[in-house]
């Protein structure tokens, strides 16, 4: 099953599959996000404003990759917000068929009502920064900017042309990153800065599937920017990436005799990422744009066997692909998986009845979807994918061309 939509709906699909599909049936879920962008004081304001308007308001904000929360360094916030207001005023709302239209309607009356209620709450609290006037006919929501303290103020994804703005001090960058990661979502992220070390620092710390530097954070291109999130934002593998199409093939299921060596009371703890390492490849793209796809180990996969020998074989398969594994030395009640550690996946090569119980227990979890693997894992099961796209011309010139000319 391949699904694109909300996280809540993906979890419902996961639950239905656990009841009605073969245990281990594949689910590819590309879900939503509370996508953020950070603009620091070194950013080119004109470029940042264009990227913000495109990311927040194109397609009436109805993209899973759209910008939801903008963090502006307080040193430049007043000027950037003033420029954003001017850029918003230039937007044309109307029929999407008209080439002059910048912002069309939202999908239906239910969506319009929910977004309008969110805006009215902000209005009552005096947090509206700026808004346009929407057409009276059709399910339109006017582009709106709302002041927030930070991304934690967003209780859910507002799937429309609504931009939430927060400010931060130069010394608070890491706190901002921690707050973004704490949402549990990880789809897209934007950064505007002209400091190379900051690009490196932020892109290494932020937990998002697609990271965009000095450009907008929408419109991923197949082959250049493989697309997909992590955590609450999706299962992977990335659409348009090297690991995507193989996921649509039938898995090589393995079934071994259902025997246990012993019993144990608790699931093993999830180890840290001490063995984490990046593998990075450069992807093609237009001149003046860098596209790099990296993989890093997912949280450790739980190898349940059955039996010590099978669990050891599973662990060898995981580590051979550059992942981390935890071996279960005995049997345990399947329901322990519902509230247990957030493993990257669970391997079980035993009987189908037990597999069904494991699948059902995993489907009842809150948080990221954890797959049950009935056969050998592939690379995308043990390693997460992250993509970084950088507009290399943002510092005032194309470094690649300048270097070639020299």
Q: What are the structural domain ranges in the chain?
A: 36-228, 248-386
- Read off the pLDDT of each residue in 319-339 and give the average, rounded to a whole number: 93
**What is the pLDDT at residue 331?**
85
168-222 residue pLDDT tens = 999 999 999 999 999 999 999 999 999 999 999 999 999 999 999 999 999 999 8
Q: Over pLDDT 70: what percentage of the chain?
A: 95
The pLDDT assigned to 406 comes to 44
Q: With pLDDT > 90 as the criterion, what percentage of the chain qualifies?
A: 88
| Distance in angstroms (rounded) separating the CA atoms of residues 189 and 168 | 17
Predicted confidence at residue 141, as pLDDT, reads 98
- In this structure, the number of other CB atoms found within 10 A of the CB of residue 41 comes to 16
Beta-carbon contacts of residue 79 (< 8 Å; ≥ 6 apart)? 45
Catalogue the active-site residues.
30, 64
Q: What is the pLDDT of residue 278?
A: 82
User: Mean pLDDT in the chain?
Assistant: 93
Tokens 């190379």 sit on residue: 196
Read off the pLDDT of each residue in 32-59 and give the average, rounded to a whole number: 97
Give the tens place of pLDDT for each residue, 74-88.
999 999 999 999 999
Confidence grade of residue 395 (pLDDT, cut at 50, 70, 90): low
Return the pLDDT at 149.
Answer: 98
Q: Note whether 67 and 52 are within 8 A (CB).
A: yes
pLDDT of residue 255: 83
pLDDT over 80 at 155, yes or no: yes
Q: Is residue 247 scored above 50 in pLDDT?
A: yes
50: left (phi over 0), alpha (psi -120 to 50) or beta: alpha
* The pLDDT value given to residue 402: 43
Q: What is the pLDDT of residue 396?
A: 59
pLDDT (average), residues 10-22: 97
List, in sequence order, the alpha helices (H) in 21-132. Answer: 45-57, 74-89, 109-124
Mean pLDDT of 274-296: 88
Nearest CA to 10 out of 301, 242, 228, 158 is that of 228
Assigned superfamily of 36-228: Aldehyde Dehydrogenase; Chain A, domain 2 (3.40.309.10)
So what's the pLDDT on residue 147? 98
pLDDT digits (tens, 9 = 90+) for 249-278: 887 788 887 665 567 778 998 887 655 668
Q: Is 211:386 a contact under the CB 8 Å cutoff? A: yes
* pLDDT exceeds cutoff 50 at 312: yes
pLDDT digits (tens, 9 = 90+) for 226-242: 999 999 999 999 999 99
Give this prediction's pTM.
Answer: 0.94
């Amino acid at each position: 099953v391949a699904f694109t939509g909300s996280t809540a709906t993906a979890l419902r699909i996961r639950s239905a599959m656990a009841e009605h599909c073969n245990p281990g049936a594949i689910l590819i879920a590309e879900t939503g996000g509370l996508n953020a962008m950070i603009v620091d004081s070194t950013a080119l304001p004109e470029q940042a404003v264009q990227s913000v308007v495109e990311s927040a308001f194109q397609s009436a904000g109805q993209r899973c990759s759209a910008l939801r929360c903008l963090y502006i360094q307080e040193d430049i916030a007043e000027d950037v917000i003033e420029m954003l207001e001017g850029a918003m005023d230039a937007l044309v709302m109307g029929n999407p068929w008209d080439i002059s239209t910048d912002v069309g309607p939202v999908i239906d009356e239910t969506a319009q009502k929910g977004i309008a209620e969110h805006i009215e709450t902000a209005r009552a609290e005096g947090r509206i920064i700026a808004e346009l006037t929407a057409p009276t006919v059709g399910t339109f929501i006017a582009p709106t900017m709302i002041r927030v303290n930070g991304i934690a103020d967003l209780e859910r994804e507002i799937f429309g042309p609504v931009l939430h703005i927060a400010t931060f001090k130069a010394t608070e960058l890491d706190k901002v990153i921690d707050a973004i990661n704490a949402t549990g979502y990880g789809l897209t992220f934007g950064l505007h800065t002209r400091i190379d070390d900051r690009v490196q620092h932020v892109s290494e710390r932020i937990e998002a599937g697609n990271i965009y530097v000095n450009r907008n954070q929408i419109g991923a291109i197949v082959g250049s920017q493989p697309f997909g999130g992590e955590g609450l934002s999706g299962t992977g593998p990335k659409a348009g990436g090297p690991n995507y199409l193989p996921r649509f093939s039938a898995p090589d299921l393995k079934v071994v005799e259902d025997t246990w060596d012993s019993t144990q009371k608790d699931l093993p703890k999830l180890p840290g990422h001490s063995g984490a390492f990046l593998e990075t490849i450069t992807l093609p793209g237009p001149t003046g744009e860098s596209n790099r796809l990296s993989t890093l180990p997912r949280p450790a996969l739980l190898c349940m066997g059955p039996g010590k020998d099978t669990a050891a074989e599973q662990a060898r398969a995981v580590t051979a692909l550059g992942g981390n594994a935890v071996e279960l030395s005995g049997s345990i009640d399947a329901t322990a998986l519902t509230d247990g550690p957030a493993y990257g996946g669970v391997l079980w090569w035993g009987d189908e009845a037990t597999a069904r119980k494991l699948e059902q227990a995993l489907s009842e979890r809150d948080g990221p979807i954890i797959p049950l693997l009935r056969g050998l894992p592939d690379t995308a099961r043990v390693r997460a994918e992250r993509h970084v796209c950088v507009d290399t011309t943002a510092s005032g010139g194309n470094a690649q061309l300048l270097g070639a000319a020299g």
